[in-house]
Chains A and B, each alone.
Chain A
Amino acid sequence: MVSYSKETQTPADTQTHTQAKPGCCVCVRACVAEEEEEEEEMADPKPAEDSQEEKADEEEKQEEVLPKELTEEEKMHLLNSEEFMAFFDRGSRIVERALSERVDVCFDYSGRDLEDREGEMQAGAKMSLSRVFSDERWSKNRVVTCLDWSPQYPELLVASYNSNDDAPHEPDGVALVWNMKYKKTTPEYTFHCQSAVMSAAFARFHPNLIVGGTYSGQIVLWDNRSNKRTSVQRTPLSASAHTHPVYCVNVVGTENAHNLISISTDGKMCSWNLDMLSQPQDSLELVFKQSKAVAVTSMAFPLGDVNNFVVGSEDGSLYTACRHGSKAGISDVFDGHHGPVTGLSCHSAGGPVDFSHLFISASFDWTVKLWTTKSTRPLYLFEDSCDYVYDVMWSPTHPALFACVDGSGRLDLWNLNNDTEVPSASVVVDGSPALNRVRWAHSGREIATGDSDGQVLVYDVGEKICVPKADEWTRFVHTLVEINENRDEGDELAAQRLLA
């Protein structure tokens, strides 16, 4: 930028040289160059002020090269000076007047600027973080291993945690009951046990009991009526019960006839009576083809079924099984995944059409697969994730909606009636911790997820996404038909390619 300047350049040069920092040749050259530019720009008539400006500018340039901090004392000194008082008096006066002006000169009545915002607002309306539950003492440095919402009190959520490596004297297993209703940031109940808790559930027909499956194979029962933080009942650590980690616990049945089902990673399935945990009522070895024990990592019962269920194993295979009858044990094997199965969920949104034959599975192979119990080949493959998918769950109210979480901190909501290629809503948790578990609340409006840092995050899901309209079920029927057609086409093409 060249402008006519009346000042001569030489005085500035000498000034620059005297003020330059010794031994800092680059700075001097830069300062001098900048200095000359600055001088040309400013056609200030007052020479005294001019030199002061130059000084300030040069100092500014020097500041840019060497950033300086002021000590508290220096700051206080500045803040107490006369010049500051005068400046502040004037400046704050103007600012306060400007702040009090509520006129938005940029307001657009056509609503066009809202369109830009709408994308943001929509995104905000999709999922918003409601609560974060974490306890300094009990949940820090532990991984959230399981989550369950209370069937009786929709505001209660139990989270189980594994061991804290940094605190060897603290109990290895912790289960905390969190309360959504109040703003209190501490857990409602704190329970612990000697072994890391891998799975936990509210005992469905006993509002006071919480069941935990541990790493040692022991199943513990906590009671919130007792004043103890330790379990009131424990299963024996013997061969009659479990000796391997128990990743799945579930209470199935009806009010009058229910059992606690537990499966450990050695394929042993036990069913218990909650009143007496000293020995299992029934036990079964889950083996495939009479030889291979199934290392069960996840289990799910279809809606309304107490006999047939689905299990996922460490080697990626999925099986259907049944508890009673002549064919008790593993029935069918599914094509499965390329890595351990981390989560299983059976369709549970009741409605005009029954989809209880559908289930979804998540695995370390970065995918989620949609299955039907009527076929061993997957119906659909969801491969939008770039990390291990740690858990998946159908919405309890919306027939075409499910959630999945992965190791990169992403919580995705898939609405199959909208799009089967990409999730309809997605959020990344702050800090991108690996998300280990996901659980929809019974209302289907909130979703909880537990991460590897011991935090439980509860998100509110926007109405547009989670509340099903009346025609969702029929739309899902069409979606499934399409999916089926695509699958058959895909299979035909694959078969043709093989023949060719």
Chain B
Amino acid sequence: RFSAVFIFSPKQAEVEETLKRIQTHKGVIGTIVVNAEGIPIRTTLDNSTTVQYAGLLHQLTMKARSTVRDLDPQNDLTFLRIRSKKHEIMVAPDKEYLLIVIQNPSE
């Protein structure tokens, strides 16, 4: 009886490597991958922080996307960057997923 089957294809390994590379980049505080429903599927932060970031940024990304499309229906959101006093949050959106990276740019 198998409890969990992890399919570790070479592509999966690449994904892991890239995620690790991003996470260890200078100043990166956290990396989160969110699915279309706003549920985090990969994260390097603790649970409560992840859920908070995922929920809020998912909503914001939806809003940003709808703004872009309202202005021009043939346009679409490709990248979202929020610069605050303390951090920079980068969101790479897609139809199905979001890649969120939080960085401290002054480091």
Chain A contacts to B: CB under 8 angstroms = 3, 41-45, 56, 59-60, 63, 68-70, 72-73, 75-76, 78-80, 83-85, 87-88, 90-92, 94-96, 98-100, 102, 104-106, 113, 116
Contacts and interface: CB of A to CB of B under 8 A. Distances in A.
Which of B37, B78, B93 has the most chain A CB atoms inside 10 A of its CB? Answer: B37
Contacts of B92: 90-92, 94-95
A168 to B, nearest CB: 35
Given A45-B73, A78-B35, A85-B11, A91 B99 contact: yes
A58 to B, nearest CB: 11
B97 A91 contact: yes
B95 to A, nearest CB: 8
Interface in B1-56: 4-7, 9, 11-12, 15, 18-19, 21-22, 25, 27-28, 33, 35-39, 41-42
Given A60-B62, A87-B95, 20 more contacts: A43-B73, A60-B37, A63-B37, A63-B39, A68-B39, A76-B4, A78-B35, A80-B9, A84-B96, A84-B97, A88-B97, A91-B93, A91-B97, A92-B18, A95-B92, A96-B25, A98-B81, A99-B28, A106-B83, A116-B85
A74 to B, nearest CB: 8
A79 B101 contact: no
Contacts of A44: 69, 73
A52 to B, nearest CB: 9
Contacts of B70: 3, 41-43
A92 B7 contact: no
Interface of B: 4-7, 9, 11-12, 15, 18-19, 21-22, 25, 27-28, 33, 35-39, 41-42, 62, 66, 69-70, 73, 78-79, 81, 83, 85, 90, 92-97, 99, 101, 103, 105-106
A73 B4 CA distance: 7
A268 B69 CA distance: 85
Nearest to A113: B85
A99 B90 contact: yes
Contacts of B36: 56
B106 A104 contact: yes
Contact of B66 (A41, A69, A100): A41
18 contacts: A56-B36, A60-B37, A68-B37, A69-B39, A70-B41, A78-B41, A79-B42, A80-B7, A80-B9, A80-B11, A84-B96, A87-B97, A92-B22, A95-B90, A95-B92, A98-B81, A102-B105, A113-B85
Contact of B94 (A75, A87, A104, A113): A87
B18 A88 contact: yes
A84 B11 CA distance: 11
B58 to A, nearest CB: 8
A63 B59 CA distance: 12
Contact of A76 (B7, B27, B81): B7
B62 to A, nearest CB: 8
Given A44-B69, A78-B41, A95 B15 contact: no
A499 to B, nearest CB: 59
Contacts of A85: 11, 15
Contacts of A95: 22, 90, 92, 99, 101
Which of B6, B41, B70, B81 has the most chain A CB atoms inside 10 A of its CB? Answer: B41
A76 B21 CA distance: 20
A100 B95 CA distance: 25
A38 B38 CA distance: 17
B28 to A, nearest CB: 7
B76 to A, nearest CB: 11
Contacts of A90: 92, 94
Nearest to B35: A78
Contacts of B66: 41-42
Contacts of A102: 105
Contacts of A80: 7, 9, 11-12
Nearest to A98: B90
A99 B22 contact: yes
A497 B90 CA distance: 67
Which of A43, A63, A69 has the most chain B CB atoms inside 10 A of its CB? Answer: A63
B61 to A, nearest CB: 11
A88 B11 CA distance: 11
Given A42-B69, A75-B42, A95-B22, A105 B83 contact: yes
